[in-house]
Structure 1
Amino acid sequence: MTTAYHVSPTAALDLDALSATARALDAASGADTDDYLLILGDDYTSGPNAVTLAAWLAPQTTRLRIVPEAPVTHTEPFHVATSTATLDYAASGRAGWSPVAQTSDAAADAVGRRPAASVDAAWGEVPDVVAAVRALWTSGESDAEIRDEVTHRFIDRDKVHYVDVTGTDSVGQPWSVKGPSIVPRPPRRASCRPSPSSATHPGITVTEHRTRAEHVTPPDGGVRTARLADGTELRADAVLLAQGHLDVDPGDPGTVGEGHIPPGYTVDQDFSAIPAGEGVLVRGFGLAFIDLMEILTEGRGGRFERGAGDAVPTYVPSGREPVLWVGSRRGVSYRSKPVDGPPAVELHHLVPATLDGIPRTPDGHLEPGHLRRLLTAELHGQWSAVTDEPLDLRRIDRPLDGLAFPDRHAVEREVEAVVLTNLGRATDRRHPQDGLLYSTLVASYFVLHSLLAEGLLDDADRDLVAQVEGSFSYVCSGPPPERLGNLLALHRAGVVRFLGPDTWFRRNPGAGPRFLADSPVVVGDPVTADHLVDARLAQVTVPRVTDPVLRGLLADGELVAGTGASGAAESVFVVDGDNRAVGADGVARDGLFLVGPSTSDPVREGFGRPGQRTRVFPANRRVAEAVADALVGEQERLSPASR
């Protein structure tokens, strides 16, 4: 469990108390069940600069994650980038930052460069600053600094990249940031995250309850009561449920029971029962596995040692690690994202003019075959525009298909070779086609889901969308190159082992370890273990959702299950066009809102990539306005500035 502690600017004035708090949280961090985050407030006028304080605290701690608020309204984006990158070095990759806007006269007077700005104007600049900071962080590759005494070169200039980012400040003046950063690429690229004070607009109070909501009642006179696990009861005119991907009852009688850890958020799960040195079966080879891998290795005291230019580090174990046997349908890890980020693409085939011209069936669906033809043309066209290398989508998506292995060592060698190839291509600029495939899949994915949401696809085209979803996750949602390097290091150290493709998992019906796992294309006995971890997102069906609030509202008739865009029955909670919950009687519930992937109106582009159009921002604004309407009534809507 991650617990966040927020220190106000005035409280931070007591440096002795602040240091003692940080050291106490650090001592409690790093256990298998607890993780602590220290957020340092900064209002620009009272107390020390939070980033400077964080740099002072960093060497006093070894495990605690430190996130200072970084004022951006009156601070140049370049200086924000260099200070937060430097902080990440001081914290050995444990730092983050939280951008905050300043709207007070006191903050403006402290600098004297521009007048105080409105809330909307000040916060409107924040996304531009964040984009500039991220671009500067990654303007140099991790091995750009070579210090070559023979050639007298300090850096490899081919690994330092020009940045050209523009934005608009809080008073409407344009600004630009050009050239690379003067600070090398930070160890973990200092994650950007909001802090509680980031949402404090005038007239709004944010209160964080660090406990679980257990029940939300039906309305009584228009007011609902939310009951929390600590006994607190909150009365609310409007309730917004945003639980994200939901935990579900595992429902697999072949594996559930003692020793099995079901699907869930990896960072929130308890792996303390997994002993050191023992084999553990892991179902799933995506990002959840990569997180699990790091938790059970670095999180238990191991470390990665990288030499200059090493794509694959050396792993130094702590002796507390288990041995992870990982398998999945593909049998290989997700591909890493291109090191330079995805290039911008313009679709040529999956465009409105072409899609509108596809004939419709009597049921209103697109005639069969057209969508697959357009998708194939799109992917091949973008790829072949920059390379003569043939595009073999099947081989990219299923690199182990058609192969058989005489023993387990053979399949492990092949998986390692695939991962090493993917790592090499992700960090080698001689393969621009890979970046174009990435961006084309992302753009195509959004188009297909728009057609799906409009009800234009028949069963065959829905199957096509499901296939694209699988390829999309594999090609576009993989770990950064550093994590793939860590995976290979752990394999070479014997800490991670590969089971192969189409892996099956089941309970052992006989004596011995509880679980068995094997691949049908690998000769040899199954691998056995007493622990099985499902490192994957669960397939949601409403009746199996375990969230107590949702289950209670469902039992009260305040929610109802519906058929999702994929055609799966009881796979979503039904909402109306404003994301108001629809009850069992088919009527939308005033003051009760649901957002997220398990609703009938999910925003698939919620994870939109930089430079690509995404619906998440206008969709969030639409929901926010609907919540405002529920709070103040249609005739008394709050003005945009105060909303």
Structure 2
Amino acid sequence: MINTRGGCLPRTLVVVGTGPRGISVIEAMAARLAGSDPEQPLRIYAVDDTEVGAGRVWRTDQDDWYTMNTVAGQITMYSGVPDGGPWRPGAGPALDEWARGTEGEKDLGPDDYASRRTYGRYLKSVFHTVRQNLPAHVELIALNRRVTGLERRPVGGWLVELDQAPFLVAADQVLLATGHPVNSPDAFEQRMRDFAESRDGVHYLHGDSAADMPLGTRTIPAGTTVAVKGLGLSFYDVMLALTVGRGGEFKRNDEGRLEYLPSGQEPRIVAGSRSSLPIPARGVNQKAPDHTYQPVFLTRQAIEAAKARQKRANGHEQLSFARHVLPLILQELEHVYQKTHRETGGTGQLPPLDLEKLARPFTGEGFASPAAFHARLLEVMREDLRQAYLGNARGPLKAALDVLRDTRAVVREATDFGGLLPASHDTEFVRDFLPGNALLSAGPPVERVEQLVALVERGTVEIAGPETRFDTCEETGMFTVSSPRVAGSQRRAAVLIDARIPTPDLRRDTSWLTRAMLASGVISEYRRTGPLGDGHPTGGLAITRSPFRVVAADGTVHEDLYALGIPTEHTRWFTQVGSGKPGLNTLFRQDAAAIAEAVLQDVGVRERAA
């Protein structure tokens, strides 16, 4: 095809969502285009409804107290490390290097934790660097728009519908990298919402990140009792918004312990969860940015051997998580636990690791009063802080728990694309393993747990107790929070905040685009199939293996439509990874490379002769 200037019309890619996954593919393409000679020019539209180059979760106008939970030296969006030349696609800095080399940014050490908005600025700088270094035949266009629909063109490719001008963009290929969903309420959430909406001064906040919730004094006046459901990472965000965000301060006393100095504008926070253990701290980082862990027991070879045994014995390769995978995980953790203990001068053998006890320390315990429970809780949290300060390389416990992070790629070999028997996946993996795994492997910086200890000691935060129940009271017109195992724990609250991260589910996703694509059959839900051919719906987006092409409702594969990241959760596991690691060919980087190469084949990229 020829344009009016006598050249070839450009091939067009639309990237929907410009958080880390979208940016990673654009950067990987740019790195390859720098050494290529495409047969046609290329036009890339980067579309985001919040902030192009940063996305919603990492938007740059959020408050500074919302932080990351990975140290800055282990975060990069570039597919290669700096090489002495200018920063460019394929050779750029990690987050800490970028901050130190960028005017106006606060210095970050490799073991510091950056704020989310700092990471957002880093993402935008990557986007800008990519744009500035594209060859003349490639154009990158930023569109701050909402994508509302995606339809097939009769001549091939797609029509991408936008909520503002230009309203329609014709695309040869499309990448869906839409990130965290906002879901319609489930039965519990709807009941809480209905209760709140029928009463003045009562509020139920849910289904979004703390940065996007109305947590100011207009919704939550000072002195109000606020119930918070969930004690994971988002709980810490809510906690800070309602304390530091209200003018409170944390300071260290003469003994080095953190204390909270209230502003008087805080609400009273009553929080809880099934375990009522706030997510523990990550060990102080003692590992180099390019650290890799080589498993001894939980290896790809061990997973492949288990599949082969299943094939010989049962005629299929699907595994039982409890029988084939979990024992390898436990062996790996115990190996690191005992090895680290010996290498750091420990004598004798430590008692075996008990993941269940670590994740559910109050199992079987009852408490005569909230004060008795808080004494026990603070004991557990202070011991966790002691272990965290020993570090993630020299502290046996945190070194072992880091293995849960370091071996995720191997676990994916067993779980992704229906690798587990459906019943095993739903019960042994999702129900029994993942909650404890998330609790023990994805914690916040040590400082966050110290801050929570200070708030509990001050009385600003109260943890209700194990098996926390959240309900409503028609008589008082308020929410209630209680623990059946803590006598006298019931509290009334005018505001209930659900601080759990929404689980991706196509059927509940409120996005116009997702709903339109489901209705038209452009996308389909991944169904896990067992040996008998029985289908199990998952809520995940059906895709092929790498390069992750979308599967339509009629089973056909769209060769020109790709999906990456959180919408594909359940088809793949742990898709919320939001960065690569400097100098390492991580799965995050491999995913981006696979899609970049597939897209560029369509453009006819030819490597230049040396």
Normalising by structure 1, report the TM-score: 0.68
Matched, 1:478 2:443: yes
**Counterpart in the other structure of 1:369:** 323
Aligned-residue offset at 1:455? 3.9
Q: Structure 2: how far apart are the matches of 1:476 and 1:640?
A: 42
Q: Structure 1: how far apart are the matches of 2:363 and 2:420?
A: 29
Matched, 1:389 2:350: yes
Letter in 1 for 2:605: L
**Contact 2:99-2:108 at 8 Å conserved across structures:** no
- Name stretches of at least 5 consecutive residues in structure 2 with no aligned partner: 1-18, 20-55, 66-70, 102-106, 197-202, 342-348
Aligned-residue offset at 1:289? 0.8
Any idea what the Cα deviations from partners look like across 1:81-128, whole Å, max 9, x if unmatched?
A: 9xx99xxxxxxxxxx99999999xxxxxxxxx98x77x9xx43332xx
Matched, 1:351 2:285: no
Aligned-residue offset at 1:641? 8.1
- Cα 1:327/1:461, change in 2 over 3 Å: same
Matched, 1:334 2:279: yes
Q: Structure 2: how far apart are the matches of 1:607 and 1:555?
A: 29
Letter in 2 for 1:506: D
Q: Structure 2: how far apart are the matches of 1:576 and 1:604?
A: 17
Which of 352, 372, 378 matches 2:332? Answer: 378
Question: 1:604 is paired with a residue of what secondary structure?
Answer: coil
- Name stretches of at least 5 consecutive residues in structure 1 with no aligned partner: 4-32, 39-61, 66-80, 86-95, 104-112, 138-180
Map 1:87-106 → 2, pairs under 5 A: none
Which of 534, 554, 557 matches 2:521? Answer: 557
Matched, 1:626 2:581: no
Letter in 1 for 2:278: S
Any idea what the Cα deviations from partners look like across 1:257-293, whole Å, max 9, x if unmatched?
A: 3222122222223324222211111111111111111
Query: Larger RCO: Structure 1 or Structure 2 (Cα < 8 Å, ≥ 6 residues apart)?
Result: 2
Q: Structure 2: how far apart are the matches of 1:379 and 1:97?
A: 27
Any idea what the Cα deviations from partners look like across 1:199-255, whole Å, max 9, x if unmatched?
A: 212344444333433333343533534343445414131322212221211212442
Any idea what the Cα deviations from partners look like across 1:388-415, whole Å, max 9, x if unmatched?
A: 3212222212111121111112212222
Matched, 1:313 2:313: no
Q: Structure 1: how far apart are the matches of 2:111 and 2:255?
A: 14
Map 1:436-447 → 2, pairs under 5 A: 436-447=399-410
**Counterpart in the other structure of 1:531:** 495
Any idea what the Cα deviations from partners look like across 1:155-193, whole Å, max 9, x if unmatched?
A: xxxxxxxxxxxxxxxxxxxxxxxxxx9989878586472
**Contact 1:285-1:334 at 8 Å conserved across structures:** yes
**Contact 2:300-2:410 at 8 Å conserved across structures:** no
**Counterpart in the other structure of 2:90:** 124
**Contact 2:319-2:414 at 8 Å conserved across structures:** no
Map 1:410-449 → 2, pairs under 5 A: 410-429=372-391, 432-449=395-412
**Contact 1:372-1:464 at 8 Å conserved across structures:** no
Which of 206, 218, 237 matches 1:262? Answer: 206
RMSD of aligned residue pairs (Cα, Å):
4.1
Letter in 2 for 1:236: A
Matched, 1:235 2:203: no
**Contact 1:404-1:522 at 8 Å conserved across structures:** yes
Question: 2:464 is paired with a residue of what secondary structure?
Answer: strand
Letter in 2 for 1:479: P
**Contact 2:422-2:536 at 8 Å conserved across structures:** no
Identical columns (%): 23
**Contact 2:78-2:91 at 8 Å conserved across structures:** no
- Cα 1:256/1:568, change in 2 over 3 Å: farther
- Cα 1:363/1:403, change in 2 over 3 Å: farther
Map 1:64-463 → 2, pairs under 5 A: 122-126=88-92, 129-130=93-94, 133=97, 191=119, 193-195=122-124, 196-200=127-131, 201-203=134-136, 204-230=138-164, 232-237=166-171, 238-253=173-188, 254-257=191-194, 258=196, 259-272=203-216, 273-307=219-253, 310=256, 312-341=257-286, 344-358=292-306, 359-360=309-310, 361-364=313-316, 365-366=318-319, 369-387=323-341, 388-390=349-351, 391-429=353-391, 432-453=395-416, 455-458=418-421, 461-462=424-425, 463=427
Question: 2:187 is paired with a residue of what secondary structure?
Answer: coil
Any idea what the Cα deviations from partners look like across 1:405-459, whole Å, max 9, x if unmatched?
A: 1111221222222222212221135962123212322244432221122644335
Normalising by structure 2, report the TM-score: 0.71
Any idea what the Cα deviations from partners look like across 1:289-347, whole Å, max 9, x if unmatched?
A: 1111112222232222235773x422222332222211112201111111124575332
Question: 2:366 is paired with a residue of what secondary structure?
Answer: coil
Question: 2:91 is paired with a residue of what secondary structure?
Answer: helix
Any idea what the Cα deviations from partners look like across 1:617-640, whole Å, max 9, x if unmatched?
A: 1111111222334xxx3xx42346
**Counterpart in the other structure of 1:604:** 574
Question: 2:89 is paired with a residue of what secondary structure?
Answer: helix
**Contact 1:276-1:320 at 8 Å conserved across structures:** yes
Q: Structure 1: how far apart are the matches of 2:420 and 2:89?
A: 40
**Contact 2:385-2:446 at 8 Å conserved across structures:** yes
Larger CA deviation: 417-426 vs 475-484? 417-426
Letter in 1 for 2:367: F
**Contact 1:214-1:549 at 8 Å conserved across structures:** yes
